[in-house]
């Protein structure tokens, strides 16, 4: 029988509801039964998958959770595929990871056309792997590899981030302790499940705690507000874009509807924002609507969550808080020297939460560490008192112009105060004289227009002259990935094309 602690814990929750989706409610006993059937179908005549990679592409819901646990019970490595990804992207993940088995839902069969004729890859269709099966499952030690999540990072090709069961356990227990998860919790998930935010912060923490995970098949603001109004949820975790869209929906309702919608938050004990910088304007508006001060935190696919504002103490706007339980966080300069409070530098992380390796990339894995510290590539400011503020990524959010290092996030926060600006993204544009120039892509509120000089004049009272934008691009929307993060590489390309 599996020795993974997550599996052992779920066995103790029996008839409690584990997952609610659009098809119904499922208990922990249901979940473990179907997960075991899946494991036995995956094993076939084998006694142990012994870290063979199993990828799957199915909608979020009960079956997703059962499949993930089933892969682990069988001794396999779980690789969740993005349901919004192209066939080309999916084929890259499957081939790069050396996946031998792919489980798929019929809705996504066309996305597997590139591998359908490959006899070395076994394709299993739902619901076949969920049918009753009988036999023995192996003992699975927690030192084994458990999951590979592909992340774009700063390279042209996505890298597979490999985590062991021990890494995942450390990530889960850190969040459970910091945010005081318990078996009475009920959380709504609207996040994609091929990213760490949805699969770890929401689904796996919920299972560890014996809580209920309510899963939606995609995000629609109206559906989320309707689910909030059932008043049985205690937790919600999302990205800033989702909060912004929920705010927009609320603002477009009549006053009586707004009042009713704002009255549905009494049962919530925690609402979290992450995966991208949270604009202070969004934080303040959500507090006005819901009465909740969003808890902002900082994490990465490679490390889980590393920093968090306090659950019970003061939450600092524009800050990502303090080191999580069991996690060491430090600031380092370009000479790899650790710096104290009052300094800015690269954020580095150490602990059992840190991933094992980049799949098949030993050189990249080695270069990602220095003296056992994982180098995040994010630049932060270590404040007096121990909290951290994110200044941006060295490669994307730090603009080097005329000898200055500028945080694009700082400029964006200021520009969002402008009454005409709905959304903005600041990027560095290559320039032979200055190194880089400050470029801003804007989405304006309906009916407005603005010129570069007007924007500079307005911002000159709020920003140093060298931080003022010198290039302006007006867009109908900002390009984003499936997690709602603005894709600044595309915006840089837009500027280059316009020039």
Edge to edge, the sheet with strand 435-444 lists 421-431, 435-444, 471-474
Predicted model pTM? 0.85
Residues forming beta bridges with residue 429, ordered by sequence position: 437
Nearest C-alpha neighbor of 63 from the set 94, 100, 101, 35: 35
**Which pLDDT tens digit goes with each residue over 154-203?**
444 689 999 999 999 999 999 999 999 999 999 999 999 998 999 999 99
Checking if the pLDDT of 431 tops 60, the result is yes
Taking residue 113's Cβ as centre, other Cβ atoms within 10 Å add up to 11
- Per-residue tokens: 383: 């404040």
Q: What share of the chain is helix, strand, coil (3-state, %, to 5)?
A: 30, 30, 40
Q: Which range has the worst mean pLDDT, 173-187, 429-443, 465-479?
A: 429-443
Least confident of 37-51, 58-72, 445-459, 485-499: 485-499
For the segment 193-221, the average pLDDT, to the nearest whole number, is 95
pLDDT in tens, 267-288: 999 999 988 778 888 899 999 9
Which helix or strand (DSSP H or E) is residue 187 part of? strand 186-189
* C-alpha pair distances (Å), 369 with each of 350, 358, 363: 10, 12, 11
Integer Cα distance of 139 and 136 in angstroms: 10
Alpha carbon of residue 417 to chain centroid: 26
Please compute the mean of the pLDDT values over residues 147-154 and round it to a whole number. 78
Residue 137 has pLDDT above 80, yes or no: yes
Cross-strand bridge partners of residue 260: none
460 pLDDT band, cuts 50/70/90, is confident
Both tokens of residue 466?
């060298």
pLDDT at 37 over 70: yes
Structural domains of the chain, with CATH:
5-141 (3.40.50.980), 189-351+368-393 (3.40.50.12780), 398-498 (3.30.300.30)
**Mean per-residue pLDDT for 395-400?**
79
As a whole number, mean pLDDT of residues 214-238 equals 96
Rounded alpha-carbon distances, angstroms, from residue 172 to 31, 205, 225, 280, 305: 19, 6, 28, 28, 9
Which of the pair, 275 or 33, is modelled with greater confidence? 33
Residue 89, pLDDT above cutoff 90 = no
| Res 154: pLDDT | 44
Nearest to 340 by CA among 298, 401, 304, 388: 388
For the segment 90-102, what is each residue's pLDDT rounded down to a tens digit?
A: 999 999 999 999 9
**Pick from 336, 320, 240: which is nearest to 283 by CA?**
240
Mean pLDDT over 474-492 rounds to 89
Closest to 279 (Cα-Cα) out of 486, 428, 470: 486
Buried b (16+ CB within 10 A) or exposed e, 222-244: eebbebbeeeebbbbbbbbbbbb
């Amino acid at each position: 029988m599996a020795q993974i602690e997550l599996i052992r814990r779920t066995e103790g929750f029996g008839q409690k509801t584990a997952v609610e989706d659009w098809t119904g409610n499922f208990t922990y006993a249901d979940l473990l039964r179907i997960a075991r059937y899946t494991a036995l179908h995956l094993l076939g005549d084998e006694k142990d998958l012994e870290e063979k990679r199993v990828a799957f592409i199915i909608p979020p819901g009960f079956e997703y959770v059962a499949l993930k646990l089933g892969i682990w019970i069988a001794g396999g490595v779980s690789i969740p595929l993005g349901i919004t990804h192209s066939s080309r992207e999916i084929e890259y993940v499957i081939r790069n990871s050396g996946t031998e088995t792919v489980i798929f839902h019929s809705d996504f069969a066309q996305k597997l056309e590139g591998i359908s004729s490959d006899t070395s890859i076994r394709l299993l269709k739902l619901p076949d792997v969920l049918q009753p099966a009988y036999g023995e499952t192996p003992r699975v030690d927690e030192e084994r590899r458990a999951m590979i999540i592909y992340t774009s990072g700063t390279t042209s090709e996505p890298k597979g981030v490999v985590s062991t069961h021990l890494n995942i356990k450390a990530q889960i227990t850190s969040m459970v302790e910091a945010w005081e998860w318990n078996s009475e919790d009920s959380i709504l998930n609207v996040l994609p499940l091929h990213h760490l935010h949805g699969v770890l912060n929401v689904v796996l923490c919920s299972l560890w705690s014996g809580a209920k995970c309510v899963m939606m098949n995609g995000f629609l603001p109206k559906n989320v507000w309707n689910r909030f109004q059932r008043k049985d949820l205690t937790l919600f975790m999302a990205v800033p874009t989702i909060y912004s869209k929920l705010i927009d929906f609320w603002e477009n309702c009549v006053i009586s509807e707004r009042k009713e919608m704002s009255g549905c938050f009494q049962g919530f004990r925690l609402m979290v924002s992450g995966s991208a910088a949270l604009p202070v304007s969004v934080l303040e508006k959500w507090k006005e609507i819901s009465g909740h001060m969003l808890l902002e935190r900082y994490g990465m696919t490679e490390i889980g969550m590393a920093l968090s504002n306090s659950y019970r103490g003061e939450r600092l706007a524009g800050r990502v808080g303090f080191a999580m339980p069991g996690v060491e966080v430090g600031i380092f300069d370009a000479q790899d020297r650790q710096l104290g409070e009052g300094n800015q530098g690269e954020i580095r992380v150490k602990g059992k939460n840190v991933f094992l390796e980049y799949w098949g990339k030993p050189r990249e894995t080695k270069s990602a560490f220095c003296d056992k510290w994982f180098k995040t590539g994010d630049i932060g400011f270590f404040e007096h008192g121990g909290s951290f503020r994110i200044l941006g990524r060295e490669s994307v959010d730090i603009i080097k112009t005329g000898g200055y290092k500028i945080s694009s996030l700082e400029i964006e926060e200021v520009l969002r105060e402008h009454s005409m600006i709905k959304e903005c993204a600041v990027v560095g544009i290559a320039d032979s004289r200055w190194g880089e120039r400050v470029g801003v892509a804007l989405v304006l509120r309906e009916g407005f227009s603005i010129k570069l000089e007007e924007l500079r004049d307005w911002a000159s009272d709020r920003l140093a002259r060298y931080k003022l934008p010198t290039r302006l691009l007006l867009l109908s929307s900002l390009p984003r990935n499936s997690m709602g993060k603005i894709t600044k590489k595309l915006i840089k390309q837009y500027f280059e094309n316009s020039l």
